[in-house]
Amino acid sequence: MPYFTDLAQQYIDGEWRPGTGSWDIIDFNPYTGDKLCSITVATADEIDLAYRAAERHQPAWAATNPYTRRLVFERAIRLIDERTAELTDVIVAELGGTQIKAAFELHLAKEFLRAAMNVALSAEGRILPSPVEGKENRVYREPAGVVGVISPFNFPFLLSLKSVAPALALGNAVVLKPHQNTPVTGGTLVAKLLQDAGLPGGLLNVVVTDIAEVGDALLAHPVPKVISFTGSDKTGRHVAMVAASHFKRCVLELGGNSALLVLDDADLDYAVDAAVFSRYIHQGQVCMAANRIIVDRAVAREFTEKFVAKVRTLTVGDPRDPATHIGPLINSSQAEHVTALVDEAVEAGATALLRGKAEGNLVHPSVLTDVPEGSRALTEEIFGPVAVIVPVDGEDEAVRVANDCRYGLSGAVHSGSVERGVAVARRVHTGMIHVNDGTVADEPIVPFGGEKHSGLGRLNGEHFTEAFTTTKWVAVQHGRTAFPF
């Protein structure tokens, strides 16, 4: 596959070049175990080169007419359409994503590129009144300057573009570090797409590396003014601490332990469909996935029987096969973690209604219930094909259980009454929640982000402008100020 030979490099100052670190990141296909490529890691010196290139090229880009900037993203959309088959193959090979998942990711990537075209025109200024006679207060929206973006492995193409594209559209330059498990899909493939779409060199730089090589160089470097990070809450805490110590803004899109609530008047067949999709899409490796399915005891038996029956129909196997619903987890460590978590819950007293076996990185779906309070299966982000069903007595207990969690990213409520569903949804402490739908959703103009340990700040729509620009007050005195001395 040519992408894994041609793009197994760093992309700095418009040039493709090897890294100069002392070791290589080996990129494996998580289903077959085949080596896709190896990339010599970037060093702290190369991070400096990337940031300095971005700093050097950014002013001219900021001065470019925003209608011209947006043409890059228009062309990128056309290129995705032209290269859909190739891009799908890359997502399947590097992530173990199914055909369904790849189509979902590419569709959303195009939607966010369309959003970037609009964002390019969103940096509006204002004129504010002044109590001083003859004074005019102008408030300008200026690009932040250089933005550092760190993307995850689960939706790397989409989640890299989701920060990279609006940051560039608003006149910034970017240094992107993809996850080491998805260096091509989340990094160099994004650079190639935008390069081919006409983005001038030096505005997007991609450094493939690891903290073991560069430490905090990506975060602490003096050039970037904003850090956009998507990943775990543990790493997000560290990013926030380093950014704050260097007076940088950060946007953190972190993990989740979302709850899908099924009330006693819900359409159970529909709720089952929503819950199965929300739990098992991309093997459960989704921050918005429904880890906990909280069901009113009045309907719990019927719901559970239908849910387990549907999960049994899911096909586990080769992600290249269009019939496959569940492919491999990203690596053996994650597969072992998920298996151990299920074993631990069962040993502590949980009932396994369905206990999936592990075959290498393929982990078959599990369904647990009667999970003891405090179990990691209830409190942690599972990031694997494991559902936990929690029966409760009424909506008050459902809300209490949903809120008994350090995360607050997404959620869903199913009810036969929309307004009852909305009333319950508003009581759940989460940044996003959906009535009579799944927990996994994203749209370009809605505020996307979480509460508690699920992050800081928001992305999408007007929040892109807030995240990647700064305001400047320019006061103009048309008369003469009477100074007191």
Residue 176, pLDDT score:
98
Cα angle 325, 327, 329; round to 5: 135
Residue 120, pLDDT score:
97
Whether pLDDT at 470 is above 70: yes
Confidence of residue 482 (pLDDT cuts 50, 70, 90): confident
Same domain, 249 and 265: no
Same domain, 197 and 346: no
Whether pLDDT at 1 is above 80: no
What amino acid is encoded at 441 in this protein? A
Same domain, 250 and 278: no
Query: Is 104 within a domain?
Result: yes
353: domain CATH number is 3.40.309.10
Same domain, 312 and 224: no
Same domain, 222 and 264: no
Same domain, 129 and 196: yes
* pLDDT digits 0-9 by tens, 52-99: 999 999 999 999 999 999 999 999 999 999 999 999 999 999 999 999
* pLDDT over 70, % of the chain: 100
CB 311 within 8 A of CB 393: no
* pLDDT digits 0-9 by tens, 344-356: 999 999 999 999 9
Structure tokens at 120: 């390019």
179: domain CATH number is 3.40.605.10
Domain that holds residue 379: 258-435
Same domain, 11 and 33: yes
**Start-end of H helices in 380-417:** 394-403
Mean pLDDT of 154-180: 98
Query: Is 444 within a domain?
Result: no
* pLDDT digits 0-9 by tens, 200-250: 999 999 999 999 999 999 999 999 999 999 999 999 999 999 999 999 999
Query: Is 440 within a domain?
Result: no
Query: Is 272 within a domain?
Result: yes
Structure tokens at 373: 């309070």
Whether pLDDT at 110 is above 90: yes
Same domain, 159 and 211: yes
Query: Is 192 within a domain?
Result: yes
* pLDDT digits 0-9 by tens, 267-317: 999 999 999 999 999 999 999 999 999 999 999 999 999 999 999 999 999
Query: Is 449 within a domain?
Result: no
247: left (phi over 0), alpha (psi -120 to 50) or beta: left
Question: How many structural domains comprise the chain?
Answer: 2
Residue 378, pLDDT score:
95
Same domain, 231 and 343: no
Helix (H, G, I), strand (E, B) or coil at 258: strand
Same domain, 53 and 149: yes
Same domain, 337 and 198: no
* pLDDT digits 0-9 by tens, 246-267: 999 999 999 999 999 999 999 9
Query: Is 480 within a domain?
Result: no
Query: Is 358 within a domain?
Result: yes
Same domain, 281 and 166: no
Single out the residue of 447, 445, 443, 446 nearest to residue 456, CA to CA.
447
Structure tokens at 168: 């560039």
Cα dist. 391→2, 256, 435 in Å?
Answer: 50, 20, 19
Q: Residue 20 and residue 24: Cα distance in Å, rounded?
A: 10
Active site residues: 253, 287
DSSP character at residue 289: -
Residue 2, pLDDT score:
85
DSSP character at residue 407: E
Torsion of CA 129, 135, 139, 145, to 10 degrees: -160
